[in-house]
Amino acid sequence: MPTITFANNKGGVAKTTSTIMTGLALCKRGLRVEVRDLDPSGDATEWAQTASRAGTPLPFVVTPANMRNVDAKSDPDTWVLIDTPPEQMQIVQAGIDAADLVILVTSPGRHDTDHLIEMAKCIDRPLTVLMTLARPGTIALKAAVDKLKAADLMGFSTIIPNLQATLRASGTNVLPTMSGYQEAATELVEAF
């Protein structure tokens, strides 16, 4: 099974949310998942601990990782998802080097997409883009999608909407129905 790294040097674009929600969506499909938390702030680890303390643990393990062990071998039947930090390129690069696929996560802001396009030029692995925090029908979303398509980077046809239900799901094992992550996971599984 693949190792997939969720990355962007910028914070606040929903990398951790995308990592956990994709893990939940893959588990709902009956697949085995492991999340490796490469972010020193430990947001994915905290999410798992919060869900466990509430009596509703995540259906997969979240393992704190570092630059030396992020590429550790795993059960060959397990999808490994790696959550990376913002602004720590050496750590992000370790996650990229461990990946079979890099998912660059971005919101539709002009600065975010410009930054992402520059980052993509430095990645020597197969990559795709997942648009998050989107408000359907907005000029900003259309401009961002057009810019990513022009750069040949718009990989997922699924765009993750900015929903309160997704924000409220933080620290739980809940996968909101309309979050878009189920559809994104379907695209991911079909790609592999």
Strand arrangement, sheet containing 3-7: 61-64, 32-37, 78-83, 3-7, 101-106, 127-131
Q: Is the pLDDT of residue 175 over 80?
A: yes
Provide the pLDDT confidence category of residue 172 given band limits of 50, 70 and 90.
very high
Q: How do residues 40-84 score in pLDDT, each as one tens digit?
A: 999 999 999 999 999 999 999 999 999 999 999 888 999 999 999
Domains belonging to the chain, first-starting first, are 3-191 (3.40.50.300)
The pLDDT score that the predictor gives to residue 117 is 94
Q: How do residues 2-38 score in pLDDT, each as one tens digit?
A: 999 999 988 889 999 999 999 999 999 999 999 999 9
Q: Is the pLDDT of residue 190 over 90?
A: yes
Q: 3-class DSSP state for residue 70?
A: coil
Q: Are strands 101-106 and 32-37 parallel, antiparallel or unpaired?
A: unpaired
Going by C-alpha positions, the residue among 191, 192, 33, 4 that lies closest to residue 95 is 4
